[in-house]
Homo-oligomer: A and B are copies of this chain.
Amino acid sequence: MNTAIIATGSELLAGLVKDSNSKFLAENLRELGFTVTGIYLSSDKKEDIIRTIKFASENAELIFITGGLGPTEDDLSRDALAEALDRELIYSEEIARSLKDFFARHDYKMTENNFRQAYLPKDAKIIKNNNGTAPALKIFDNQTRFYLLPGVPREMVAIFNNSIKKELEKLSKNKIIYREYNFIGIGESTLEDKFNQIKIDSQIEKSYQATKGEVKLRLKVLLSDSMDREKTETMLDNAEQKLVKHLGEYLYSKDDKDILEIFVEKIKNSRLTIASAESFTGGLFAKRLSDKAGSSQFFKGSIVAYTKEAKINLLNLDPQIIKKYGMISKECVTAMAKNTAEIFKSDIAIAFSGVAGPGSMEDKMPGTMHIAIKYNDEIKTIELNKNYGRSLNRYYATQIAFFETIKLLK
Contacts and interface: CB of A to CB of B under 8 A. Distances in A.
A23 B15 contact: yes
Contacts of A28: 15
Contacts of A242: none
A227 interface: no
A398 to B, nearest CB: 10
Interface stretch (A119-127, A232-240, A304-312): A304-312
A287 B284 contact: yes
Oligomer: number of copies: 2
A158 B14 CA distance: 20
Given A28-B15, A282-B287, A301-B305, A105 B387 contact: yes
Given A43-B37, A209-B11, A367 B106 contact: yes
B13 A36 contact: yes
Interface string A291-313: 10101100111111111011001
A107 to B, nearest CB: 6
A1 B44 CA distance: 18
B314 A290 contact: no
A342 B281 CA distance: 23
A111 interface: yes
A40 interface: yes
Interface in A90-140: 105-109, 111, 113-114, 131
Interface string A365-391: 001000000000000000001111111
A25 B13 CA distance: 10
A250 interface: no
Given A72-B208, A106-B386, A15 B11 contact: no
Contacts of A17: 209
Given A14-B26, A283-B290, 15 more contacts: A12-B26, A14-B30, A38-B40, A38-B41, A38-B43, A38-B48, A39-B40, A40-B40, A107-B385, A283-B283, A293-B358, A300-B307, A301-B310, A301-B314, A303-B304
26 contacts: A11-B209, A14-B27, A14-B30, A15-B27, A37-B43, A40-B41, A71-B188, A107-B385, A108-B187, A282-B286, A282-B290, A282-B291, A283-B284, A283-B287, A283-B289, A284-B290, A286-B286, A286-B306, A291-B391, A293-B357, A293-B359, A300-B306, A301-B307, A301-B314, A309-B345, A314-B343
Interface of A: 10-19, 22-30, 36-44, 48, 51-52, 55, 58-59, 70-72, 74, 105-109, 111, 113-114, 131, 152, 187-190, 192-193, 207-210, 278, 280-287, 289-291, 293, 295-296, 299-307, 309-310, 313-314, 343-345, 356-359, 367, 385-391, 394
